[in-house]
A and B are shown apart, each in its own frame.
Chain A
Amino acid sequence: MRRQVLPGFGLSFGYALTYLGLIVLLPLAALAWKATGIGFHGLIQLLSGPRTLAALRLSLFGALLAASINAVVGLLIGWVLVRYRFPGRRLFDALVDLPFALPTAVAGIALTTLYAPNGWLGRWLEPLGIKVAYTPIGVLVAMVFVGFPFVVRTLQPVLASLERDVEEAAESLGARRHQTFFRVILPMLAPTLLTGFALALARAVGEYGSVIFIAGNIPMHSEIAPLLIVQKLEQFDTAGAAALGVALLLLSFLLLVVIALLQRWSNRWAERAA
């Protein structure tokens, strides 16, 4: 190894590691330790309770569905913002980050008001028999909202650098537009699309602030897993809250590992297409 010319390794590394240890690692260790306090048997009993299962299921499948919707809509909007020129494009481009910047509680009450039966959107959906506020669909709407920027923002630089020559070559070889899209463009975008999907998913699984208002939090129906953790804490059941927290964390890490594997596989697919 080359001798270091620059000073400050001990100070910067030591400070960063100590800070991380105290702020992030020590508290997470407390979580793992507390969760073991309830014991294996207790954990199984807690997690197999019908209400817990329903909440975990809603958080998991709601987040998967929301991230899928975000992948499709994000691809459309990323494509339109990168490829086409129209008035107001830059404004809309800046607006994409709104869900990152808007506090979740504000988003939560605004979405609830919007989709309530007398709200601007709710009053049009109600006659169609679509109830959004205080149902699992409401949970889904909030999850799509908070995860929305991830797919667009990860895709944009890749879409901008995507060689148009490749598309033109495919077309000059006689490929139809949809063939070019599904056989050439989509495979090349797949790894990036998966990254955006993973970020949106991780966000939605643990989302709390924007969901609890529109969800209505009806047990077994529209109650999400993070809310159950809050309720356990309010009942001073810290061991139960810790166990649920560990379960939720493991669930999201498991999902991220699966996506990382999918990504490795899609990278190969992209290389073949290119």
Chain B
Amino acid sequence: MSRHPRSRSMGWPRRIAHVALILLALVFLVAFLLLPLATVFVEAFRQGVAPYLQAIWQPEARSAIRLTLLVAAIAVPLNVVFGVAAAWAMTRFEFRGKTLLGAFIDLPFSVSPVISGLVYVLLFGAQGWFGPWMEGHGLKVIYAVPGLVLVTVFITLPFVARELIPLMQSQGSEEEEAARVLGASGWQLFFRVTMPNIRWALLYGVLLCNARAMGEFGAVSVVSGHIRGLTTTMPLEVEMRYNEYDYVGAFAVASLLALLALLTLAVKTLLEWRYGDEIAAHAPGGH
């Protein structure tokens, strides 16, 4: 934010060019980002407030909301623990194959959501590796909640680790080593020294991880089986209502997800403004 445009020394032709570039960029941003967002809310309220409220209060909608919250409540903490462990190992120690480990952590970002769902069908489906054994023991993963949780864990695995690794790398381990020398135990130094240093980056990672966990569609649609009231998360409920030509219903549930997206963006922007230095330079957050 340091440099100012050379507005005073600019000639007219260049000033016109600047305004034209800004307008062009704004037209694109409005048409491409703002209009789809506006469409969601306009369509949701097309028939007024009462049908909207009714649509999001139907039992299927409520069970979809519950399921979405449940899946995220399991998947996000799991990936937080993993992210912290992976970042600790990757940034505090030297070992062979570190680059490879980093590449494996990023892997879910470069795999199509549909393939993410597919691999779990191949493991736990009726014709999968463990499918027949699990069926024999009355365990159901595919077309059931455990499958939804597993694919969500897979899809959102990199988010927290990716935020923490560059930050902890740049912070170094001097403070922790000092605490160690002064006699702190491992957990003490982690909670008293490391945690305060990484909390905002951790929150940032949790935010992105949660947004993806609640909004994931492709992977969960492969393993869900679309059983209403049992295995349909909010994005799947949106799809089913849309395909049944229940547009108000589809956009009503979609509007809740859009609100979640807006809230995520707002908190994310706030974190970047207030704690930019403590979040560190980060690469774009993947899918």
Contact = CB atoms under 8 A, between A and B. Distances in A.
25 contacts: A6-B173, A27-B120, A27-B154, A77-B25, A84-B21, A92-B25, A94-B266, A95-B265, A98-B33, A101-B261, A102-B257, A103-B257, A106-B238, A113-B247, A120-B39, A121-B31, A148-B33, A149-B284, A196-B284, A206-B115, A229-B118, A230-B114, A230-B222, A245-B118, A253-B110
Interface in A23-52: 23-28, 30-31, 34
Contact of A104 (B28, B85, B217, B283): B217
Contacts of A96: 29, 33
B258 interface: yes
A206 B113 contact: yes
Contacts of B269: 90, 94
A229 B114 contact: yes
Interface in B119-175: 119-123, 125-129, 150, 153-154, 157, 173
B233 to A, nearest CB: 10
**Size band of the B side of the interface?**
35 or more
Interface string A166-191: 00000000000100000000000000
B21 A248 contact: no
A242 B120 CA distance: 11
Interface string A105-136: 11101110110000111000000000000000
A233 B215 contact: no
**Size band of the A side of the interface?**
35 or more
Interface stretch (B47-55, B100-108, B196-204): B100-108
Contact of B123 (A26, A104, A230): A26
Interface in B15-74: 18, 21-22, 24-26, 28-29, 31-37, 39-40, 43
Interface string A141-154: 00011101110011
Contact of A27 (B36, B92, B122, B218): B122
A13 B112 contact: no
A54 to B, nearest CB: 17
Interface string A1-23: 10011111101110111011001
B217 A209 contact: yes
Given A12-B85, A105-B254, A226-B113, 14 more contacts: A5-B181, A9-B95, A12-B92, A13-B85, A27-B120, A30-B123, A77-B25, A77-B28, A97-B268, A98-B33, A150-B284, A154-B284, A233-B121, A248-B112
Interface string A233-252: 10010100110010011001
B86 A6 contact: no
A256 interface: yes
Given A13-B95, A27-B122, A110-B254, A5 B28 contact: no
A20 B85 CA distance: 11
The 4 closest A-B pairs by CB, nearest first: A206-B112, A103-B215, A27-B119, A209-B217
